[in-house]
Amino acid sequence: MVMQVMFLGPAGSGKTSLTAKFGEWILRNEGLTVTYVNLDPGCLNLPYKPDFDVRRYFTVRDLMERENLGPNGAMVKASELMQKNIKLFLNEIELFNGEFRLIDTPGQSEIFVFRPAGPYIAKVFSSKAPTIGVFLVDPLLAETPTSLASVFSLVMASQLRLGIPLITVLNKSDEVKDQRLERMIVDYNFLREEIAREGAGAITDLAISFVEVLEKLSVAQRLVKVSAKTGEGMNELFGIIHESLCECGDLT
């Protein structure tokens, strides 16, 4: 059975690097074949060899030149083209028989998640095989308790918009400077305490209220730390993906 993993997260969070490293790990340690799917029409270079590459159909640069668009406008246009052609693309992707299908999403995740293309693409992929999203938390974007709360807002929005199981992963674990971060990710009481201690003015009450909503809606999950640079955490990531796709999976 094919298992599909869709990597999500803000620009620069390491989606492409982790796609490459995780695919290498799966092949080397589990002996499972991997299909690499690149859905980012804006990237210039990839650290893996894509089996399907959306750039064979269009690129952000080409759309900028052909339709006289800026970078953001071209990315929006690209998302519309992906939505229009995703069933055609998937027919091509299914020709590859990898047991794991790793899907590298566009760098500008806000365009992928919040425009119609992302939810539709996730729905089409999910109709073909079990699909899970891996949302990458970049420690550089979560340097304070309130900034971590804002990252969690993106996680929740992605979950609601895409409609697929979503696990949260701390990427670039080798670059974590604040040792509180790991605990704040999994311990909402501690996160609330740290937000209050931060004393960020008017934003404090808003951030605490958001964490309370998050606590009610989220599913218990242990922290998975990974690093595409060092290879840390690949075994844990592989395990939690399997658990999340299993009805009896224990994520606590």
Q: What is the pLDDT of residues 160-198, one digit of tens each?
A: 899 998 888 999 988 887 788 888 888 889 999 999 998
Q: What is the pLDDT of residue 249?
A: 40
Distance CA 120, CA 105 (A): 13
* 3-state class (DSSP) for residue 48: coil
pLDDT cut 70: percent of the chain above it: 95
Q: In angstroms, how far is CA 67 from the centroid of its own chain?
A: 29
* pLDDT tens-digit readout, 27-81: 999 999 999 999 999 999 999 999 999 999 999 999 999 999 999 999 999 999 9
* pLDDT for 223: 79
Residue 250 confidence (pLDDT): 43
Mean pLDDT is lowest, of 156-160, 167-171, 246-250, for: 246-250
251 pLDDT more than 50: no
Q: Is the pLDDT at 219 greater than 60, yes or no?
A: no
199 — pLDDT class (breaks 50, 70, 90): confident
Q: What's the CA gap between 74 and 59, in Å, rounded? A: 9
Complete DSSP assignment for 72-140: HHHHHHHHHHHHHHHHHHHHHHTTS--SEEEEE--S-HHHHHHSTHHHHHHHHHHTTS-EEEEEEEPGG
Q: Can you tell me the distance from the alpha carbon of 207 to that of 196, in angstroms, rounded to the nearest whole number?
A: 9
- Residue with the larger pLDDT of the pair 104 and 97: 104
Residue 134 has pLDDT above 90, yes or no: yes
Greater pLDDT, 109 or 39:
39
Rounded Cα gap, residues 79 and 76, in angstroms: 5
Nearest to 231 by CA among 171, 143, 141: 171
Domain 3-175+222-244 has CATH 3.40.50.300: yes
